[in-house]
Amino acid sequence: MEPLTVKLETIYSQAIEKSFPQLAGTRATIRPSIHADYQCNSAMALIKKVKELNIEGKLDPKSLAEKLAANVPDNDLIATQTVDKGFINISLQDGYVGKKVLSILKDGIVIVPEKKQKVIIDYSAPNIAKEMHVGHLRSTIIGDSIANILEFLGHEVHRINHIGDWGTAFGMLLAYMEEKFPDYVESPPAIGDLQKFYQEAKKRFDEDPDFNKKSKDCVVKLQSKEPAIYRAWELICEISRKEFQQIYDVLDIHGLIERGESFYQDKMSDMVEDLKKRELIVQDDGRWMFFINGKTKEVPLTVIKSDGGFTYDTSDVACLRYRVATEKADRIIYVTDAGQESHFRSIFAAAQQAGYYDPEKVLVQHVVFGLVLGEKGTKFKTRSGDSVRLKELLDEGIVRAEQKLKEKERDKILSPEELEVAKKAIAYGCIKYSDLAQDRIKNYEFSFDRMLDDRGNTAVYLLYCLARIRSIIRKTGITKSAKELADETKELVLTHPRELRLAKFILKFPDIIMTVSETLSPHTLCTFLFELSVVFSEFYEQCYVIEKIPGGDSEQFKVNMERVLLCEATSYILSLGLKLLGIKLVEKL
């Protein structure tokens, strides 16, 4: 299904070419409008071009807009055009709207991008031997929703989990484990213990020269893949993976391919040799440095430390090089907190300077997000000042969701099995949606009370709205699927203003999806779904789906099939939108 703005752009681009053949190829500009359904803004932008070409005739915006409107080719989409100053206000034909709603119910929504791309999206990225915290939650949720949307559009999407599993930190941990727990291979600890051991090892590393040396020796042994050390490292990684997977299972995160820093070890060595050979890195106080564009006043990348070890700079440039040269990605997306913005800006600049990627051929993007704050706007920490463990946060969500359902006495309506499904859908859905509904660039305050509110732009509200629509459809007694009903309907005639408003709003969905795929900002989709639910409520208040037959007995009712189909279409769009955001649906709440 082609987005309506794209279809209108094509129509008005043809009008531009017919009006001014010298401007053939100029793309029209279409926007949603508060004055009509859509608006063409092209006349304002054409004034300068028309004057430069010395085209005769009136050259004010209104006259140009009138000329464009007069040269719009015949089509089944536009009902009326009105010119206001330099803008063309466009109203859609009711028949076209009804036909498109039927096509959604028959065939679903399939949006074909201009060009199918191979997309690599790097998100989640926890560290081995450390527990996941709220920062990983944001990266995981935002990254997964973007991956879902790009996949829905038909792109080849590779979901990569770039975990921290290499370097000095593991030398410290392995040295500490060997010293304190020599039998840890046979009796592996829990990940919580590993994090404690890591903190103690870091303290020893900073304060004890002998331990410092021993740790660095362990790094050398690890990089050389000495069997005993390498097996111990594999064990620690496996303990962490199992813990990470429990979180991913709860959040319904699938398809993540692990590519830790260790994966790029040999690729880093190869890249360093290439950079040395081409004299793109220079020695400075025992280190090898990459000065971006030769600017010595700016912070350079440290490619090799004075002890001979590699850094995050090294692995990230090698990683980008591999994704372009070997994996042949067309688009590469990194989803991390805003604190890494400067780092990635330098990585992208260095990779471009080294010739490892061409921004004209490969789109590389850093999707940044703000901090999760406590309810008073302070950093979201435990009382002891530690980062909030993700597992504890999710467990608390389950407790709060169950309390909310019992407050509303849903436990008296739902079976125990239905209650279990509902509380999980609400708990995890509200945590995800609360994050995604925010402009990702901004910090946001985490509040269970707000995210569990069944009023306003929350997952709870949308899930209740969806359950309500499904309940309305069940009450009609119709057992046929939406597709069957649509196939049997020759024409969907919509006459009530609220019917048309809802139908037209539904047709905006493809445009919203295309916008999110370009801006990588899922909150745009959240806002649309909330507004759709509001538009549906306004429709339902004035347009009875089931109504009593005048003069009939109390048991006689009629079902308005046009409105049933609108309910089905709304349900489909709400369900699809929530699924793309990674929110699990529930039939009964």
Is residue 217 domain-resident? Answer: yes
> Are 178 and 208 found together in one domain?
yes
Backbone angles phi, psi at 544, to 5 degrees: -70, 130
CATH number at residue 280: 3.40.50.620
The verdict on residue 462 lying in a domain is no
The answer to whether residues 178 and 294 belong to one domain is: no
Domain count, the chain: 3
Residue 495 scores a pLDDT above 80: yes
Task: Report pLDDT for 555.
Answer: 67
User: Could you list the residue range(s) of the whole structural domain that residue 292 is in?
Assistant: 118-159+258-372
| 262 and 155 inside one domain | yes
What CATH number should be reported for the domain holding residue 9? Answer: 3.30.1360.70
pLDDT in tens, 556-588: 788 999 999 999 999 999 999 999 999 999 877
Give the Cα separation of 472 and 465 in Å (integer): 11
Q: Does 50 reside within a domain? A: yes
Closest to 348 in 3D by CA, of 424, 399, 400, 292: 292
Which residue's structure tokens are 């028949």? Answer: 95
The predicted pLDDT at position 249 comes to 94
Sequence letter at residue 87: F
| In a domain? residue 506 | no
Contact assessment for residue 155 and residue 119, using Cβ atoms and an 8 Å cutoff? yes
d(CA 422, CA 405): 8
Q: What is the mean pLDDT of residues 325-333?
A: 98
How buried is 57 (Cβ within 10 angstroms: 0-12 exposed, 13-18 middle, 19+ buried)? exposed
| pLDDT computed for residue 307 by the predictor | 78
Whole-number Å distance between alpha carbons of 99 and 230:
63
Statement to judge: residues 236 and 271 lie in one domain: no
What's the mean pLDDT in 502-531? 97
- Domain stop point among 372, 394, 411: 372
Q: What whole-number distance in Å separates Cα of residue 243 and Cα of residue 142?
A: 20
Ranges assigned E (strand) in 318-471? 331-337, 363-369, 372-373, 444-445
- 7 burial (CB, 10 Å; 0-12 / 13-18 / 19+) is middle
**What pLDDT, on the 0 to 100 scale, is given for residue 544?**
93
Q: Residue 92 has what pLDDT?
A: 97
pTM: 0.92
Domain boundary among 372, 393, 419: 372
Q: What is the pLDDT of residue 552?
A: 61
Residues 154 and 299 in one domain: yes
Considering the domain architecture, whether residues 77 and 125 belong to the same structural domain is answered as: no
Q: Is the pLDDT of residue 96 over 90?
A: yes
Domain shared by 191 and 332, yes or no = no
Q: Of residues 114 and 274, which shows the higher confidence score? A: 274
State the helix-helix crossing angle for 509-519 and 561-581, rounded to 10 degrees.
Answer: 10
Residue 227 has pLDDT above 90, yes or no: no
Q: Cβ-count burial of 277 within 10 angstroms (0-12 exposed, 13-18 middle, 19+ buried)?
A: exposed
Structure confidence at residue 553 (pLDDT):
63
Q: To which residue do tokens 């980062």 refer?
A: 387
Distance between CA atoms of 4 and 10, rounded to whole angstroms? 10
Boundary residue ending a domain (234, 250, 266): 250
With respect to residue 580, please indicate whether it lies within any of the assigned structural domains.
no
Name which of 114-128, 262-276, 549-563 the model is least confident about. 549-563
- What's the average model confidence in pLDDT over 78-90? 94
291 pLDDT higher than 60? yes
Of 224-228, 235-239, 502-506, which one has max mean pLDDT? Answer: 502-506
Q: Which of 55-69, 77-91, 160-174, 225-239 has the highest mean pLDDT?
A: 77-91
Residue with more model confidence, 575 or 60: 575
Mean pLDDT of the chain: 91
**For strand 287-290 and strand 156-161, is the pairing parallel, antiparallel, or unpaired?**
unpaired
Whether residues 185 and 263 fall in one domain? no
What 3-state class would DSSP assign to 383? coil
Residue 544 lies in a domain: no
pLDDT at residue 383 greater than cutoff 60: no
DSSP 22: G
- Are 137 and 268 part of one and the same domain? yes
Joined together, the tokens standing for residue 66 give: 């009138």
Domain co-membership, 140 together with 271: yes
Is the domain of 55 the same as that of 173?
no
Would the pLDDT of 419 be above 60?
Answer: yes
Identity of the amino acid at 345 = R
For 476, the token pair is 């009609």
Confidence of residue 187 (pLDDT cuts 50, 70, 90): confident
In a domain, 545, yes or no: no
- Does any domain span residue 235? yes
Residues 302 and 345 in one domain: yes
